[in-house]
Structure 1
């Protein structure tokens, strides 16, 4: 009886496994070069009390979207830290007992669009997107969408019921030991997700499913002026988000098979709408309205990127460098 698998098959399997592990390590190390310095900077900002100071500064902005000024601290905590940090501050301030479903939907939407900015802006910059453009897009996009939702709900008297309290956070330990533990867990989770996702994408490529996904996304991407080659970037960002999917997004961009403009448009879209699964579930726990944080936000993102695409078509080629690098390195 012949040996199964054959020597040739074992050799091919070993080479494929080594190639996969090399890819995982390259993606993970690229992400860590961005994530670890950003996490340390955010920790220092927290200890210096700058988040509270910045939260006080944006009180007037929150009033413009129909929210108490104190929610500025919630949004700032999410922008400088992450959504979990924003949720913790939300409950620490007793917001859950004060806001309507519409108001929770507004602050949730603003957190969904603009959060984890130190890490996610660094990721966008690593693939060639202008830092200032990303910052302006995320913050102004969050405010504009929040303002539209506030005006709509107040004029139509929608979602004015008290928000349900579906979750209460545990006590947060402010010590360095707890911080190192949670960040270590985040890093390990990122490695596991990168390994699983790259393995899954390889399977899809072998089975031909990747081509089917590209075909299905092609009409929407064509409308937005994005080539189908950027489909993987869109899929990763929509499912995993920019922080966990950041390493893979950088790897996709640096492979050189996607034009700079397509990378820019993809990252701009994902800046307004990403991590539709985990982040959405978290905001539902706060009592937000599902149609607002998913469908309305998705429609807003598509319209915003469609307008941005038309703007780029109007701009001369030499002016487009204001927004992105033509060939990310």
Structure 2
């Protein structure tokens, strides 16, 4: 029993150490971005792109905040701006879908990079897919005149103490939660392997993974990322990448899929609170993500290996 606990703790540490090496410095970088006003500059750059997706230009600042910090940062700016900007339910759903697919880039892209993907490739993958889906969703809602009523938001940002000490304490608590969840995932993974549930999960996911062109070895970690979040799914993928149990293409496209379609419970609830439509942010986004990855996997089959390792993946 003690040996089993020690083994689980060691495995948790092995996952957390490379993950925290990324998270801790990136948390500091994000704080600097917020304090120096660089997020506002990014918002101005993104303003013209908002019109492609049918959103008011002001929403560029909200998306920039989500990209540079995290999804909650984007939601807080949105909740502040929406008081003075007329937004429909359709527009809110488009905005919510875009920040669900592209947020927290300083942290999440570095985590993906640790698993072997090239930073620029995953940046373009997630940013491009968010923009494409946002534009398509906007056309869909306008063509069928759906959800054109004014949005009603249920979320208003809470006022928090804005001191360096309170910020540091909050981030330390968040890292503690991440470590605890990873520990729980390691325990569950061992139990699931013991009782054969991993094989059952692989069997259930086989049709979906086959459609996307991703190998069965990625089933469990993809499910973890899809339900809980990219941080946890990527943490497991980093471990699998080091063990060599997943192919490099499976790692890239599994991370790509998780990047645009992860944490489907918590994140969906948050977006519903700002007035987004469930069918758009959950069902349509999932369908788009699966088909988008499936198309890219099949297109990648024809590219030379040299190109894959030059532009998409680091051959470690």
Question: Is the shorter-chain TM-score for this pair beyond 0.5, marking a shared fold?
Answer: yes
Bin for the TM-score computed over the shorter chain: over 0.9
Q: Mapping of 1:87-98 within 5 angstroms?
A: 87-95=75-83, 98=86
Match of 1:317 among 292, 305, 309: 305
Shift of 1:243: 2.5
Which deviations, in whole Å up to 9, do the C-alpha atoms of 1:232-273 show, x marking residues without a partner? Answer: 220111012112443223112222111111111111111221
2:49 match: 61
Larger radius of gyration: 1
CA distance in 2, matches of 1:240, 1:203: 18
Aligned 1:1-329 pairs, distance under 5 A:
13-95=1-83, 98-321=86-309, 322-326=311-315, 328=316
Unaligned runs of 5+ in 1: 1-12
Aligned pairs, number? 315
**TM-score normalised to structure 2 length:** 0.96
Distance 1:213 1:108 in 2: 29
- For residues 95 and 254 of structure 1, the distance between their equivalents in structure 2, rounded to whole angstroms, comes to 48
**Cα contact 2:39–2:68 (8 A) shared by 1:** yes
Would you say the 8 A contact 1:239–1:274 is kept in 2? Answer: yes
TM-score (norm 1): 0.92
1:185 shift after superposition: 1.7
Deviation at 1:299, TM superposition (A): 1.0
Distance (Å, rounded) in 2 between the aligned partners of 1:313 and 1:88: 41
> Post-superposition shift, 1:98?
2.4
Where does structure 2 lack aligned partners over 5 or more consecutive residues?
none
Asked if the contact 1:96/1:286 (under 8 Å) is kept, the reply is no
Segments of 4+ moved more than 4 angstroms: none
